[in-house]
Amino acid sequence: HAKSLGRAGYCFFEPSMNANAREQLRLLHDLRSAVANNEFELYYQPKFEAPAGPVTGAEALLRWHHPERGLVPPAQFIPMAEKTGLILTIDAWVINEACRQLRAWCDAGHSSWNMAVNLSALQFQHAGLVDLVRDALTRHGVAPERLTLEITESIAMRDAEASMDVLNRLVALGVSISIDDFGTGYSSLMYLKRLPATELKIDQGFVSQLEHDGDDAAIISAIVALGHKLGLNIVAEGVETPEQQDFLTRLGCNSLQGFLLGHPLPAAQFVTANAHIHEAAA
């Protein structure tokens, strides 16, 4: 068993090893078999036109069904997956699976729903990304306009010139770009102006205390004004209360996402929970 972990075949689980290092090794081992055995599933969280609909689509959120630990959220395994490069295989699966689901929704009559997929830093720097996206769209016969790729502000700004090049090639395919977790990284407004994005997602950190913190409201209001001047759609994430929903709508956010309006759900439940909202408003 330990042999499969190391080229030399020696035992990694030595008592002298600290608990955290052992935990990390176990995670890595389990993650490798998760990739091999396809233990992943996408959950879908609805995005609403403010204040309460229609549903414009969903964000695909990765879940890992660990054989012993149950459902593991991405924050607990994506850092390790990034460190080891396993994220490239996982993200490729995510893009393909999201396109397959888009096709299924389209066939079921939900042809206006958009799908947003999160990209890791590593995938974003990977030379094969544009081909990967193009192939997934073609394989499932999905119109590129249906697909949005979310990259965090920090990833987009890290190597801004290189990012711009990749993003322009993705946009040339016809997919849309959304800047995730906006306000948490170091933004250059010079680059923000040039980024070929169509959407900004205000980080939930600004939303969670909105009713009690005037500074958060001021920041959101400024982001909305800036984003709108740049022609961007503004999404607020992490909306949990009716007060936040109301506030964000009045501040001018175009779309809302959060537990108040809909939790991430497996595909079948997503349709049951959201189809009527879409149809009622369409």
Binding site for ligand C2E (CB under 6 A): 45, 61-62, 73-75, 78, 91, 94, 118-120, 150, 180-181, 204, 237-240, 258-259, 264
Interacting partner of 258 out of Mg ion, ligand C2E, none (Cβ under 5 to 8 A depending on kind): ligand C2E
Under 8 Å between Cβ of 242 and 249: no
For residues 67 and 73, which CB has a smaller minimum distance to ligand C2E in the complex? 73
Name the segment binding Mg ion (CB under 5 A); options: 120-128, 158-166, 216-224, 232-240: 232-240
List beta partners, residue 72.
64
Number of residues that bind Mg ion (CB under 5 A): 5
Residue 224, CA distances (Å) to 43, 221, 255, 279 in order: 28, 5, 11, 28
Which listed residue (30, 91, 97, 150) binds Mg ion by CB under 5 A?
150
Alpha helices (H) along 112-188: 121-125, 129-140, 153-158, 160-173
| Residue 7 C-beta: closest distance to ligand C2E, Å | 28
Report helix, strand or coil for 109. coil
For residues 6 and 85, which CB has a smaller minimum distance to ligand C2E in the complex? 85
Interacting partner of 53 out of ligand C2E, Mg ion, none (Cβ under 5 to 8 A depending on kind): none
| Residue 249 C-beta: closest distance to ligand C2E, Å | 16
Binding marks (x or -) toward Mg ion, 158..197, rule CB under 5 A?
A: ----------------------xx----------------
| Residue 73 C-beta: closest distance to Mg ion, Å | 12
Q: How far apart are CA 136 and CA 100, in angstroms?
A: 8
Q: Are strands 114-118 and 55-66 parallel, antiparallel or unpaired?
A: parallel
Q: How far apart are CA 133 and CA 92, in angstroms?
A: 8
118 binds Mg ion (CB under 5 A): yes
Residue 252 gets the label, from left (phi > 0), alpha (psi -120 to 50) or beta, of: left
Positive or negative torsion for Cα 196, 229, 236, 272: negative
| Residue 176 C-beta: closest distance to ligand C2E, Å | 15
| Residue 204 C-beta: closest distance to Mg ion, Å | 6
For residues 30 and 123, which CB has a smaller minimum distance to Mg ion in the complex? 123
Residue whose C-alpha is closest to residue 24's, from 69, 84, 70 = 84
In the complex, the residues that contact Mg ion under the rule CB under 5 A are 118, 150, 180-181, 237
